[in-house]
Chain A
Amino acid sequence: MMWGSYQLDDAALKATETMILWRTEKGTVEIGRNTLAIPIKLNDQRKGYIFHGHGKLLLDTIVETREGAVGKPVENELNEPFLMLGNTEEIQQHLSTAAKEDLAKMGYGSEKEFLDEAEALLSQFFGKKGMHNHQCWGWGNNNGVIFAFPNETGKLDTLIANGSKLVYKAMNQVFVSNNSKVVLKTPTEVIVTGDNRKSLFIKKCMCYGNH
């Protein structure tokens, strides 16, 4: 049950209440009561969790420009296992040991089934990112969070947030935000905004801007 220096704990837990895992004015990630959780550990310290239950991701991937707003909010139900790194201390206060019935509610016949599923996701995340060696990966010393949500293609949508800074990379878009500075890339256009909603639009066969 290891992947590089990161490893999963061997006991399944569950959320004792609805929890907001992350929240800023741009987005939230929340999980419902009884969502299953497995801690991700590094040198015996909890660095994150893999959750599986009923949750929701809300993200306002909208760019405000002088010409008008561009983009649509993301509203995803989180019914598949997803990974989170960061904010562990607060979360662990609201977790307790999962019973067989809790596992059964999410379709697992045993704890091992859940652990195997979680390990596959952990391997996919660290394998994909090449961050399995923790010496190259200095996460844990700041207040940021990382989420990885499997999308319908089986790949991972990732959300990295630290204060007002945010990076969201999904199947059809990339959204980077730092206060009023935003970059949004969709399959058809790239929009860059700066202070005072100054913006640059790059579309297929088209480029224009205002200042």
Chain B
Amino acid sequence: MMRIELSEDLKEEMEKLREELAKLKEQLRNVTEREQRKSRGIYIDVGNRVHDYVEDVMESVAEGIHGELEKSIFIGPGGVRIIKGAVADREEEEVKVNFPKAAEVMSALGQEHRLKILKELTSGGKYINELQEKLSEITTSTLSSHLKILEEAGLVVQEKVRGRYLITIPGRTAYKMATRITRFLERGSQE
């Protein structure tokens, strides 16, 4: 086997080339990482350690904000609602449905005149004679009986002093729900 003796100059040249190659590899790795970070949307061009640290912090903050936004702020036609822990509460509500109460509310809604009473009350509190004028097809005693059912279900409240009937927040919500379901079903049957 023939042995080639490299000159000292040549050895030195090869060592330099190796070092140069290592530097190029390192640069290539950095550029690749940078591009990957850019593609994730957050890039701050500082030293690697600082950059990594800041990136971690930014990501955790972003995740936190995103999570909070999802569960705590609702923007709708009724205004802005900020509800902390709403997702957890809603999940719990789904489990703890008070079925007898729900049935009572649905039963109170399940009568045409009672829905008409709720509709009349959505424009403001009314005395019984004002309601009677609007629902002239039923007697005063029937009207009183309907109002009592609505009151017991918590959909209506009566003032003790002036005697006006007022629709409650659950009452307004229930009325809206009934009308929306009806509209939805009517639209479905037309299609």
Query: In chain A between 130 and 179, which residues have their CB closer than 8 angstroms to a CB of chain B?
Result: none
Query: In chain B between 107 and 160, which residues have their CB closer than 8 angstroms to a CB of chain A?
Result: 124-125, 157-160
Size of interface on B: residues with Cβ below 8 Å to A: 26
User: B167 contacts which chain A residues (CB < 8 A)?
Assistant: 68-69
Closest Cβ–Cβ distance, residue B155 to chain A (whole Å): 9
The answer to whether B161 touches A205 (Cβ under 8 A) is no
- Closest-by-CB residue of B relative to A197 is B124
The answer to whether B160 touches A69 (Cβ under 8 A) is no
Size of interface on A: residues with Cβ below 8 Å to B: 28
Q: Per-residue CB proximity of B152-191 to A under 8 Å, as 1/0?
A: 0000011111100011111111000000000000000000
The answer to whether A60 touches B159 (Cβ under 8 A) is yes
User: A211 contacts which chain B residues (CB < 8 A)?
Assistant: 79
Binding site for B on A (CB under 8 A): 23-28, 58-60, 62, 64-65, 67-75, 205-211
> Given known contacts A62-B157, A65-B169, what 6 new A-B pairs fall within 8 Å (CB)?
A24-B161, A27-B161, A28-B161, A60-B162, A206-B83, A209-B79
User: B84 contacts which chain A residues (CB < 8 A)?
Assistant: 205-206
Q: Which of A26, A67, A75, A205 has a CB less than 8 Å from the CB of B172?
A: A67
Closest Cβ–Cβ distance, residue A142 to chain B (whole Å): 22
Binding site for A on B (CB under 8 A): 78-86, 89, 124-125, 157-162, 166-173
Main secondary structure of the interface of A (DSSP, over half): strand
Cα of A23 to Cα of B160 in the assembled complex, Å: 12
Cα of A62 to Cα of B168 in the assembled complex, Å: 10
User: A24 contacts which chain B residues (CB < 8 A)?
Assistant: 161
Cα of A75 to Cα of B158 in the assembled complex, Å: 12
Closest Cβ–Cβ distance, residue A83 to chain B (whole Å): 22
- Closest-by-CB residue of A relative to B164 is A60
Cα of A11 to Cα of B67 in the assembled complex, Å: 71
The answer to whether B166 touches A207 (Cβ under 8 A) is no
User: A75 contacts which chain B residues (CB < 8 A)?
Assistant: 160
Q: List 28 A-B contacts (CB under 8 A).
A: A24-B161, A26-B161, A27-B160, A58-B160, A62-B166, A64-B124, A64-B125, A64-B166, A65-B169, A67-B169, A67-B172, A68-B172, A69-B167, A69-B168, A69-B169, A71-B157, A73-B159, A73-B161, A74-B160, A75-B160, A205-B89, A206-B81, A206-B86, A208-B80, A208-B81, A208-B82, A209-B79, A210-B79
